[in-house]
Amino acid sequence: MLLFMVMSVKQVCWFRRKEKSMNIEKLTEAKLANMFDHTLLKAFATEADFKKLCEESRENNFKMVAINSYPVAMCKKFLEGSDVHVGAAISFPLGQMTIEGKVKETQDAIDNGADEIDYVLNVGKVKEGDFAYIEKEMQILTDLCKKQGILIKVIFENCYLTKDEMKKLAEIAKKVKPDFIKTSTGFGTGGATVEDVALMKSVVGEAVKVKAAGGIRDWRTCKAMIEAGAERIGTSSSFAILEGFRAEQLK
């Protein structure tokens, strides 16, 4: 059964790569840069670090700065007049907050200027098989964001999940319809994999987009994630990826 499931995921990945190949061929450096959630989630990040992050994002037209909720107002000010979104990570990186706590942190981030929300779901509840709780949490936070015109992403933290659990979460997302489902925080025991992205995308189809994050540090890895179905890339290695893309174009 396990072998069949793994093979199925690989087959899905191959078909998605074949389907996406034309999009990769048409991908420009500007379009690639605009897929990046340029990330700074370190505990010791300072105001100077956030200013640099925002300047880099503005200059390169990255889609979003991915930060914790505290520096949202600061980054919103740094990015004033640009098209770069400010994205707040909620209940990050563990997801072990009450729904009420996540609601309060989300609303606070929105009040401070967040354009997007990436929240970590309660992985413990997934492991307990309490998917009713997961759906309730997802519905409440999705409704909160959509009523205010804020884009929302749900972080699964796949390194702790079985393929069946990922599939079940993706099915819930397809029903609730957050804007994105996301592979990882980057703080777990593993990050994004091509197989997981392909599996997630195979379940949600066009109803929900997929963000790949965690361990994406070069163009080869990034390219594979896009081919598998990712439409947003979370990374702190944006420049290395762009450099790899440029090098490939020169071949």
Identified catalytic residue from 63, 102, 201, 211 = 211
Is 77 a catalytic site residue?
A: no
> Is 52 a catalytic site residue?
no
Given a contact cutoff of 8 angstroms between Cβ atoms, the answer to whether 213 and 44 are in contact is no
Contact between 105 and 97 under an 8 Å Cβ cutoff? The reply is yes
Q: Is 211 among the residues known to form the active site? A: yes
Q: What is the distance between the alpha carbons of residues 207 and 35, in angstroms, rounded to a whole number? A: 19
Active-site residue identified among 118, 196, 201, 209: 118
Amino acid identity of residue 197, one-letter, is V
Q: Catalytic: which of 20, 102, 153, 182?
A: 182
83 CB-near residues (< 8 Å, 6+ apart): 61
- Catalogue the active-site residues: 118, 182, 211
